């Protein structure tokens, strides 16, 4: 091989060899052992029959099939100073030749000529516009124009730089560029587009095949080509008319901006190119385009335009989470990472940058391509980016356009609130004035006060509706609406806080005050404020209990008290106080059973005891008192099964039944009751699948279904040790698919992230059992990353730390099995540190004691194997302090003592032997 040959020379020489075998032999010789060079050359050769994006599609209104004249120019012809070597591309209205320029310099060029029969006035105008647009460009990342003229037959041509490159997306995938490397390459594209815009030219067809990457001085350099549909902004590019006809779209639909699809009279501008750059960036990050390619290809012309104009694409990180497992793995591997880390990398700032480019409203996009490039530079430099999530008001405005009917209802509620408060204030003022009048007008004052109280009640009811219907039921089911929901909750919280300040001896006012405190507590709990929420719950309970004591026959008071007690119980459970939670739920259950027995004709009180038994059963499960949990679940089912039979259309009753079956199945599994476990979880899965299918807009049903899949995986592996890991993985993958979507759509809902964390942790354990340690480690590290964020966000929720501790324990075991002992030791120590804190803070949670004891023993065994006997003994003793009968710790201590005694005897023998061999007197004897 001639060592002076570069990539361009090899490519040109290979093009001249027509026989494939001869070409392959030449490449063997020319490329030698340089596999990357060979791969790049072959990629170029595979695409040499295409125009590599140099040609547009036929202009609208032109049917290329009508013009089948034989092309008059052919290889060997000379046009001006250029000799045509080979036809390398044919497009809608142009033919591209590889040509050699003989003078004044000798070089390879691309020469583009209008096709015979296509030289209509419109086509020539577009062609000349392309020629002039390119001639104005002088940027290293834009293909240069060298010359232009007309052939002997009068058809125009121009000569441009020959770009030996492949589309940017292909290049990035072939070279397995990381996300950072792709972004660095993309910045150069932004700078080139900015240069074109400064020259007064927009591209209008930015796509991968128009952004080629070639090697220059051993470094990749993107080149933008094909300004064939470019449009002048501030100047005429040609003396010929260049008019885009009515109802003609210019560009490629997959990368087209909404205004191009809309055929707006304002036309495309530089921000249209920003949109196309956003689509390109989306593809570089995710391997897919924002809109569904299959739908776009199958859509009619009008439907195509509607999709581009109206449908909001998913965020890049959300799209990555919906890819099929095999495709997700391929996309991640091409970026030298794994699917979970790739989603993590893209989520957040890169999501914001891309979505700012893809705004339907061009005024909300980046103003310039350089602004986009600078924001990516800020991201790479760990600086704050200018892009940010759309404001709550803006998202609500967009949501309103799609859900006008629902928001009209919400608006009426808000209007009722405003009117009610206004009337309340007005009447209160009147009442105050009336009280200052003479006693002769006392009747008027009393009436005014009554009117004020009635108006105040209307205002409270309006806020109740806003809270329950809008914030709690509607917004909670809308993806990416957490911040708006929070704003609603905070507004409602302000109102209830003011309302709770009212004092009165009137039972109805005291009842409303108690309900206000309950609402305050519920909102604070939802907003992540457990301490003030507990205080508010207790105030609500005190107010309501006093009313129950005073009017024991009032059923509504007892029902409200029971409901508030259950809410407080849930809060106590979230903070790990299970024994207190049990007392609270039992107290509520007693009230509910009294109500159901006293008024059996009132079906409204019939479901409550079932939920009460379920709450108590859940506490028993948390305390590992499963022998008490199973009867409690059966008590709940005895009430819930008949309810579902009598009212099959009530989704809430089916949900409660499924929850009890789910709890029973888990308790039975842990007690070894396999048949009961299988039956209960199977029935729960059927119910949740029905609910998820009937109510796809309610995320909690999908979440509960995912939890059933998760726990079905935990079934006893006895009798199927070979198939268990495979079956467990299948259930886990089904759970993860649902949970990842929920976590992406509702990032502020901690429960969804926790369930996702738990599934990744368990997947790591299952994969380790199948000896797939690398995959297991990846899953566990993903779980640890989620847990770290949850613990940081909510340090008071103890089970986040508990799950993180268990994740580190599993990770330590896998690292040790892989021979990475030091890393395994570090993981065990992290787990122990978390568990020691949990045991101190939550002594009633026995599983933390047992997990801590297990980790002490595991670390002790590791240290004993490493010959660090004193450290090992210390950890075994710690395990025995937790459980003096711990068999592993006792065996470990015994083995250490046995080893020490053996070593002592061995040393004594060796010492005696040494004395015998070295003593002069012994030798003399």
205 classed as catalytic: yes
Q: b/e map of 672-709 (b: 16 or more CB within 10 Å)? A: ebeebbbebbebbbebbeebbeeeeebbbbbbbbbbbb
Q: Using an 8 Å Cβ cutoff, are 43 and 214 in contact?
A: no
What are the residues whose beta carbons fall under 8 Å from the beta carbon of 472, sequence distance 6 or more?
none
d(CA 187, CA 207): 15
Reduced to 3 states, what is the DSSP secondary structure of residue 165?
coil
User: Comparing C-alpha atoms, which of 257, 237, 241 is closest to residue 249?
Assistant: 257
CB atoms within 10 A of CB 446: 13
CB atoms within 10 A of CB 726: 11
Q: Angle CA(574)–CA(578)–CA(580) in degrees, nearest 5?
A: 110
Q: b/e map of 502-536 (b: 16 or more CB within 10 Å)? A: eeeeeeebbbbbbbbbbbbbbbbbbeeebeebbeb
Half-sphere exposure in the Cβ direction for 876 (13 Å, CA)? 22
d(CA 457, CA 794): 36
Q: Is the dihedral of CA 459, 463, 469, 475 positive or negative?
A: positive
d(CA 855, CA 299): 59
User: Comparing C-alpha atoms, which of 518, 485, 430 is closest to residue 748?
Assistant: 485
Where residue 166 falls (left for φ over 0; alpha for ψ -120 to 50; beta otherwise) is beta
Half-sphere exposure in the Cβ direction for 294 (13 Å, CA)? 0
User: Comparing C-alpha atoms, which of 799, 806, 767, 766 is closest to residue 784?
Assistant: 806
Alpha-carbon distance values, 287 to 43, 169, 359, 369, 484 (Å): 19, 8, 20, 22, 32
DSSP string, 256-315: --HHHHHT-TT---HHHHHHHHHHHHHHHHHSS-SS-HHHHHHS-HHHHHHHHHHPPPPP
Distance of CA 579 to the CA centre of its chain: 37
Catalytic residue among 25, 56, 63, 205: 205
d(CA 754, CA 741): 13
Q: Angle CA(353)–CA(356)–CA(359) in degrees, nearest 5?
A: 150
Q: Is the dihedral of CA 745, 750, 751, 754 positive or negative?
A: positive
DSSP string, 795-810: TT-HHHHHHHHHHHHH
- What are the two backbone dihedrals, phi and then psi, of residue 842, each rounded to the nearest 5 degrees? -135, 70
What are the residues whose beta carbons fall under 8 Å from the beta carbon of 776, sequence distance 6 or more?
763, 764, 765, 766, 767, 768, 810, 814
Q: Using an 8 Å Cβ cutoff, are 791 and 804 in contact?
A: yes
d(CA 57, CA 241): 19
**Alpha helices, H only, 369-441:** 369-380, 392-402, 404-435
CB atoms within 10 A of CB 874: 14
User: Which residues are known catalytic residues?
Assistant: 205
């Amino acid at each position: 091989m001639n060592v002076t040959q570069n990539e361009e020379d090899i490519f040109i020489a290979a093009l001249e060899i027509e026989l494939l075998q001869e070409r392959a032999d030449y490449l063997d010789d020319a490329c030698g052992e340089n596999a990357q060079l060979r791969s790049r050359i072959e990629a170029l050769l595979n695409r040499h029959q295409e125009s590599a994006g140099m040609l547009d599609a036929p202009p609208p209104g032109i049917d290329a099939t009508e013009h089948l004249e034989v092309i008059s120019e052919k290889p060997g012809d000379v046009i001006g100073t250029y000799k045509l070597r080979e036809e390398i591309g044919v497009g809608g209205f142009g033919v591209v030749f590889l040509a050699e320029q003989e003078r004044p310099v000798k070089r390879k060029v691309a020469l583009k000529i209008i096709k015979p029969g296509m030289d209509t006035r419109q086509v020539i105008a577009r062609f000349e516009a392309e020629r002039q647009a390119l001639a104005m460009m002088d940027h290293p990342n834009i293909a240069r124009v060298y010359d232009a003229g007309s052939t002997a037959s009068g058809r125009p041509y121009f000569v441009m730089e020959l770009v030996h490159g492949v589309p940017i997306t292909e290049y990035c995938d072939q070279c397995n560029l990381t996300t950072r490397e792709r972004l660095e390459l993309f910045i150069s594209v932004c700078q080139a587009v900015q240069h074109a815009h400064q020259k007064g030219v927009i591209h209008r067809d930015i796509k991968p095949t128009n952004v080629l990457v070639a090697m220059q001085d051993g470094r990749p350099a993107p080149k933008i080509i094909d300004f064939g549909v470019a449009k002048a902004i501030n100047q005429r590019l040609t003396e010929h008319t260049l008019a885009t006809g009515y109802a003609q779209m210019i560009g490629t639909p997959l990368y087209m901006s909404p205004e191009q699809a809309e055929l707006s009279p304002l036309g495309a501008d530089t921000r249209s190119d920003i949109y196309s750059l956003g689509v390109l960036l989306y593809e570089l990050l995710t391997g897919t385009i924002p809109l569904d390619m299959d739908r776009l290809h199958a859509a009619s012309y009008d439907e195509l335009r509607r999709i581009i104009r109206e449908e909001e694409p998913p965020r890049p990180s959300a799209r990555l989470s919906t890819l099929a497992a095999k495709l997700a793995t391929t996309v991640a591997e091409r970026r030298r990472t794994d699917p979970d880390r790739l989603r993590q990398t893209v989520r957040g700032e890169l999501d914001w940058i891309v979505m700012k480019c893809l705004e339907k409203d061009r005024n909300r996009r980046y103003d310039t391509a350089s602004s986009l490039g600078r924001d990516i530079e800020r991201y790479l430099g760990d600086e704050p980016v200018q892009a940010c999530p759309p404001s709550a008001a803006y998202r609500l405005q967009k949501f309103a356009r799609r859900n006008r009917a629902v928001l009209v209802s919400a608006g009426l509620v808000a209007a009722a609130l405003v009117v009610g408060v206004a009337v309340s204030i007005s009447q209160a003022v009147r009442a105050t004035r009336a009280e200052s009048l003479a006693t002769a007008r006392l009747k008027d004052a009393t009436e005014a006060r009554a009117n004020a109280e009635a108006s105040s009640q209307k205002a409270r009811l309006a806020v109740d509706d806003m809270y329950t219907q809008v914030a709690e039921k509607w917004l909670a089911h809308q993806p990416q609406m957490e911040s708006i929901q929070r704003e609603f909750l905070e507004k409602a919280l302000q109102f209830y806080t003011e309302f709770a300040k009212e004092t009165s001896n009137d039972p109805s006012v005291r009842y409303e005050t108690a309900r206000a405190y309950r609402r305050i507590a519920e909102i604070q709990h939802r907003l992540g404020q457990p301490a003030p929420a507990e205080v508010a719950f207790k105030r609500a309970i005190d107010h309501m209990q006093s009313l129950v004591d005073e009017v024991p026959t009032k059923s509504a008071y007892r029902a409200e008290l029971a409901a508030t007690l259950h809410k407080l119980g849930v809060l106590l459970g979230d903070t790990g106080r299970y024994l207190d939670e049990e007392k609270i739920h039992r107290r509520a259950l007693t009230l509910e059973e009294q109500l159901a027995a006293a008024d059996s004709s009132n079906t409204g009180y019939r479901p409550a005891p079932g939920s009460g038994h379920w709450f108590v059963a859940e506490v028993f499960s948390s305390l590992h008192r499963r022998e008490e949990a199973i009867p409690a679940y059966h008590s709940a089912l005895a009430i819930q099964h008949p309810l579902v039979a009598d009212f099959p259309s009530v989704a809430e009753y089916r949900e409660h039944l499924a929850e009890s079956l789910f709890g029973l199945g888990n308790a039975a599994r842990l007690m070894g009751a396999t048949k009961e476990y299988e039956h209960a979880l199977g029935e729960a899965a059927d119910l949740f699948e029905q609910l998820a299918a009937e109510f796809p807009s309610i995320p909690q049903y999908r979440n509960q279904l995912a939890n059933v899949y998760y726990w079905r995986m935990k079934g006893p592996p006895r009798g199927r040790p070979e198939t268990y890991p495979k079956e467990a993985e299948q259930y886990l993958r089904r759970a993860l698919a649902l949970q990842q979507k929920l976590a992406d759509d509702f990032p502020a809902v901690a429960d969804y992230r926790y369930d996702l964390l738990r599934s990744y942790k368990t997947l790591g354990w299952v994969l380790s059992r199948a000896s797939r340690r690398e995959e297991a480690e990846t899953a566990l590290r993903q779980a640890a990353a989620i847990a770290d964020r949850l613990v940081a966000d909510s340090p008071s929720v103890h089970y986040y730390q508990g799950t993180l501790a268990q994740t580190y324990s599993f990770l330590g075991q896998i690292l040790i099995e892989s021979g990475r002992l030091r890393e395994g030791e570090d993981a065990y120590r992290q787990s122990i540190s978390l568990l020691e804190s949990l045991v101190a803070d939550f002594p009633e949670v026995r599983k933390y004691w047992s997990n801590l004891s297990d980790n002490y023993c595991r670390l002790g065994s590791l240290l004993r194997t490493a010959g660090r006997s004193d450290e090992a003994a210390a950890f075994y003793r710690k395990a025995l302090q937790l459980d003096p009968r711990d068999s592993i710790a006792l065996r470990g201590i015994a083995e250490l003592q046995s080893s020490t005694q053996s070593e002592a005897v061995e040393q004594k023998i060796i010492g005696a032997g040494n004395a015998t061999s070295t003593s002069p007197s012994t030798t003399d004897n």
